[in-house]
Structure 1
Amino acid sequence: MDELDDQLRKLFSDDRLDVHSPPVAAETVVRGAARLRRRRAAITGAFAVAVLVGAGIGLAQLGKARSDDTVSAYLTTATPTTSTTTPQTSVSTFTSTVIVTTNPPPSSNGGNPDTPGTGTRSDPKSDPPPAPPTPEAQPGRYGSLSLGMSEGDALATGSLVEPSTPADPENRCKAYATKSVPDSNAVIISPARGIVRITLASFAKTPKNVGVGSKVTDVKTAYANATQSGSNVVVEMNATPAWSYIFESDGSTVTTVFMRLNANDCAGV
C-alpha cells in the first residue's frame, strides 16, 4: 500500500498533467456566472411579485367575504323576532228569502180578478150534452142475402120463395117469403135500390145476442145508440150502405127483428 500511495503522489505532482486555461476562459466563466445570478434574481423577483399579487387578491376576497358575513349578521340581527299579526275580521253571511206576490193576469173585463168588476158576470156554462154514440159497424147481411142486393142476385141465391107479392100500394116494390121465414113480406125488394128489408127468423139473434123474446131494456143495454120510436126500438149501424136494426115489440118484449136500408124508397117499409 505504501508503494501505491507513493506512485499516486508522484503522478499527481507531475506538472505535465496540469491543465492550463487561457486568461480568456476565466473571464468567460465569470461573465456566465454573473448572467446566471441575474436570471435567478429575475425569476425570484417575478415569483415574489406573483406571490404578492395572489396574496392581495386573496386578502380582497377574504375581506369581501367578511364584509358580507358582517352585513348578513347585521341583517339577521336587525330582523324583528316578533311579528305583528293583523286580526282577521269574521264575516257572517245571512241568506234571506223574499216572497214576492205578483198580480194575477187581468180578467176579461180588464181588471184584477180579486177586484169586483163593473161588468156583468156571465153564469157558469152548463156541461155540453154527451155526443151521440157511434153506430156500430156490422155488415147488412143475413144468411146469403144482403141489403142493397138486386132482385136477380137475390133470386140466384135460392133463399127466396116465389111468387112475389106487391109490397106497396103503387106495386113498385116486391115482397118475398124466405125458406127460414114463411111470411110473404120477409124480404122487400126495390127496383131501384135492391133489397131494402130482411126479416130475421124467430130463432135468430144479433151479434149482441138480442132477438125475438128479448126485453126492450135488454136491447137498450146492448146497444148504446138505441132510440125508441113508438113500440119499436131503432138501432143504427155504421155500414155502407147505411142500415138499421128494427126491433118491433109489444111494449116490453121483442116480437120481430128485421134489417132495413135507411135510404129505401118503398112506401110503408
Structure 2
Amino acid sequence: MNISEDELEQRLRELFADERLDLPPPPEAGTTIVAGARRRRRRRQGVLAATGVAAAVVVVSGGLTMLRFHAEDGTAVMTADGSSISVKPPENLTAGRQPQTSVPGPTSTRDIEVSAPPASPPSKASRPSSAQPPSKLPPVLSGPLLDADGFGAVKLGMSETQVAAQGVTLTEAQAGASCTVYSVQGSGVPASASVVISKTVGLVVVTPDQAAHTAEGVGAGSTKEQVFATYPAAKDESGGVVAPITTGAAYHFRLDDSGVVQTSLASVNQDCAG
C-alpha cells in the first residue's frame, strides 16, 4: 500500500499525540538526573587535572628534575639525577593547619645536611714574656763562688794567722778599735777580696772585689724577687737584702736597678760594724 508523505506525516502526528504512549517520570527522576550531572562534571574536572599534571611532569622531566607532591602534608620532593631533596612549605601556608613554632625536620629519603659554620680561627697565642718567674730564673754562675762558710780556703772565724796560713796575703790594713779591715789575695782565695777580722771572734766579713755567686745560684744581676724566692727568710736592709743561711751567718746582697751588684758573707754574732 502506497502512502504519500503527507499522509505518513499525519499518521505519525496522531500516533505521537496518543495519550496511551505517555510514560510519567518517577518521583525521584529530577534528583537522579542532577546527581548524574554532578558526577559527570567531577569526572571531567578530574580528567582535565590529571591531563595538566601529566603535561607538567613531562615538561619538567625534560630538564632532569621532577617535583612530586605529597597531598597529605604538602611536602614537595624534588628528584634530580637519582637523588631527592624534600622541601616542605611553612606550616602556616598549608591549608587547614595552624602555624607551629617548632621547625619540622626533613622528610625526604635523604636528609639535607647542613654544614657546620667554619670554626673561628684560633686566637693568636700571646708572646711569652721574656721575664721569667723569680723562682724559675736560671741560676747565676758567673764570678767566684762565695760559700756559706767562707771564701775559698778562708773561713769565717779564722784569726789573722790562720788566714795568712792559707796562702793568702793580707795588705792595706785599716785597724779599728776591735777589728781590722784587710785586702786579701793569693792562692787561698778564688779572687781578691776585702775581709774584716775581729781580735776576739776572728774573720767576720768577706766581700769579694767582683760580684760573686752563691751556691744557690744568686749573683750578679739576680733580681730582688729572686733573692727572696731563693732565701725565704731574707729581709730588706739599707741598700739591699740580708738573707740568713745558717744560725751563725748571712748573705748581704747590695742591689741597684740592674739587680745584685755585690755579695758579702758575714757572721751574725760579731763586734765589728758592717
- TM bin, normalised by shorter chain, reads 0.3 to 0.5
Which structure is higher in helix share? Answer: 1
Which one has the largest radius of gyration?
Answer: 1
TM-score between both structures, scaled by the size of structure 1: 0.42
